[in-house]
Amino acid sequence: MNRFLDKPLQYKIISVCVLANIIIFVVNIFLLLGINSMSVEMEMVYQDNRNLNELSTSLTKVQDSMTEYLSSKTTDSLTGYYNNAQQFVMMTDRLDDKITELSFGRMERNIKYMSQNYLDEVSKTIEAKRGRNVEEYRTYYENATEMYEYINNYITRLNLELFVNNSKHYSELNTAFRHYEFISFIVITLVMAGNILIITSFVSTMIMPLRRLADSANGVAEGNFDTELPELTYNDEIGTVLNAFNKMVISIKQYIEKLRESMEKERYMQEKELMMESHLKDAQLKYLQAQINPHFLFNTLNAGAQLAMMEGADKTYEYVQTVADFFRYNVNGKKTEATIREEVTLVDNYIRILNVRFSGDIGYDKQVDERLLDVSMPNMILQPIVENAVNHGIREMGDKGKITLRVYREDNSVCISIFDNGKGISQEDIDKIMSGRWQHKEHQYDNNGIGMDNVISRLRLFTDNSNSFNIESKGENQGCEVIIRLPYIETQ
């Protein structure tokens, strides 16, 4: 018993279930065999009556086919007669002709011999008809018909006597079958009850250690680490869990003691950290206070543009005005959404500023569907992407570098494509950018502080679609394309 309980838990459960099922299966097999035997016996009770009915039907067919031939004298009727006669001979051959004291046996033997005589008379009738001997075939026909009626009556009488006898036998078998059904029900009930007792006993024995473990675990959950630990009973999975639980409780008690000893040191470190954080926030506040007021800077740029216009410095005016427009869009901190038109205008201004800085080296092409420019999108999305394309794609290409901006519709999406013909990007780096694993220092931009992870996150939140941002590059020196997909909403 102990050797069995030391087996793995799965083995024990499967063994108990298999044993219970085998017992039920064996009992059911014996019961089914008994039921099948009794069913076969009950089926055979009226077999003699069925045989006599078939014999009577076959006899009638012979008589009818003979009469049909005598009246029509056709080949088909003659063929029908021979077939029916052959069938009747085969059936009479199955009759028992043994001499016996049983009335049923004697009657069956008489029917067999009378049937043979009847067939002889029918055969003579047919031959006389074929020989056109009218007087003979009429005599034979009358004899055959008389014998037919006598045999038919004899079969009917035997059939009735057999039916009475078989009905009595059937009633006895039916009563025995009902008793057998009741006994089978009792046996199945006892087997099921025994299986339940066996399974309950085995399961109770197997889960007893789990109950003790549950009691100990409840005590530990309430904070009582001095609770009595369950003893290791069997070397199965439950025993492994008990052993691990006991070790865990001991380890927790030791850990709590060490934790209490380090509490004072941790409080001291927390106080020190809070003081450092307070000093850091103070330094940050002073740093922010020292920053240029963005509105003051915008107003200053605007004043400079007006002064350049008054002095007739048209290029300087246009440049300063472009910088002012660009800066005004950037400092509009309260605005979180923009139209594609505003974002494209910001890119236009940004490219103009860069071309002043780099003497017009950056090529710029737009292919924009004007009907889509009023679609909404998050602000400050396109300019960081263009800046990234310039800094990491075409900056080292001189006047050969080119940025292509396209706005077009694709199914139910508005697509914005920013393509540069620069050095491209590897698939590994694309995967890092898309998953947010790209190191900050590798994707930071000059002064805007907006990285690709920020752009991607805001786009996904705005569209509620993880496929709203995609980066494609065919390889080294094959350029890079960023595609943004925004939902398109029809307007009346």
Higher pLDDT: 170 or 381? It is: 381
Q: What is the pLDDT of residue 5?
A: 61
pLDDT at 286 over 50: no
Q: What is the pLDDT of residue 310?
A: 65
Q: What is the pLDDT of residue 188?
A: 83
Select the highest-mean-pLDDT range: 70-84, 238-252, 318-332, 415-429: 415-429
Query: Measured between alpha carbons, how far apart are the two ends of the chain, in Å?
Result: 83
Higher pLDDT: 416 or 459? It is: 416
pLDDT band at 293 (very low <50, low <70, confident <90, very high): very low
pLDDT band at 22 (very low <50, low <70, confident <90, very high): confident
Q: What is the pLDDT of residue 382?
A: 93
Q: What is the pLDDT of residue 463?
A: 87
How would CATH label the architecture of 9-202? Up-down Bundle (1.20)
pLDDT at 251 over 90: no
Mind listing the pLDDT tens digit for each residue in 426-447? 888 888 888 877 764 444 434 4
Q: What is the pLDDT of residue 416?
A: 96
pLDDT band at 353 (very low <50, low <70, confident <90, very high): confident
Domain boundaries defined on the chain: 9-202, 293-333, 335-487
Q: What is the pLDDT of residue 289?
A: 40
Per-residue CA distances from 81 to 89, 119, 130 (Å): 12, 11, 13
The topology (CATH level 3) of 335-487 is Heat Shock Protein 90 (3.30.565)
Q: What is the pLDDT of residue 360?
A: 67
Q: What is the pLDDT of residue 471?
A: 93
Task: Note whether 350 and 326 are within 8 A (CB).
Answer: yes
Q: What is the pLDDT of residue 184?
A: 80
CA–CA separation, 381 and 361 (whole Å): 23
pLDDT at 283 over 50: no
pLDDT band at 393 (very low <50, low <70, confident <90, very high): confident
CA–CA separation, 456 and 434 (whole Å): 8
pLDDT at 282 over 50: no
Mean pLDDT of 126-144: 81
Q: What is the dihedral of CA 335, 336, 341, 347, to 10 degrees?
A: 90
Common-topology check for domains 9-202 and 335-487? no
Q: What is the pLDDT of residue 2?
A: 59
pLDDT band at 18 (very low <50, low <70, confident <90, very high): confident
Mean pLDDT of 358-382: 88
Mean pLDDT (the chain, rounded) = 77
Q: What is the pLDDT of residue 406?
A: 96
Per-residue H/E/C for the chain: CHHHHCCCHHHHHHHHHHHHHHHHHHHHHHHHHHHHHHHHHHHCCCHHHHHHHHHHHHHHHHHHHHHHHHHHCCHHHHHHHHHHHHHHHHHHHCCCCCCCCCHHHHHHHHHHHHHHHHHHHHHHHHHHHHCCCHHHHHHHHHHHHHHHHHHHHHHHHHHHHHHHHHHHHHHHHHHHHHHHHHHHHHHHHHHHHHHHHHHHHHHHHHHHHHHHHHHHHHHHHCCCCCCCCCCCCCCCHHHHHHHHHHHHHHHHHHHHHHHHHHHHHHHHHHHHHHHHHHHHHHHHHHHHHCCCCHHHHHHHHHHHHHHHHHCCCHHHHHHHHHHHHHHHHHCCCCCCEEEHHHHHHHHHHHHHHHHHHCCCCCEEEEEECHHHCCCEEECCCHHHHHHHHHHHHHHHHHHHCEEEEEEEEECCEEEEEEEECCCCCCHHHHHHHHHCCCCHHHHCCCCCCCCHHHHHHHHHHHHCCCCCEEEECCCCCCCEEEEEEEECCCCC
Mean pLDDT of 334-341: 79
Mind listing the pLDDT tens digit for each residue in 304-313? 566 666 666 6
Task: Note whether 322 and 308 are within 8 A (CB).
Answer: no
Mean pLDDT of 373-393: 89
Could you tell me what percent of the chain has a pLDDT over 70? 73
Higher pLDDT: 450 or 39? It is: 39
Q: What is the pLDDT of residue 285?
A: 40
CA–CA separation, 107 and 96 (whole Å): 10
Where is average pLDDT lowest: 8-17, 195-204, 319-328, 369-378?
A: 319-328
Residue 335 contacts by C-beta under 8 Å, 6 or more apart in sequence? Answer: 379
Residue 481 contacts by C-beta under 8 Å, 6 or more apart in sequence? Answer: 417, 418, 419, 420, 471, 472, 473
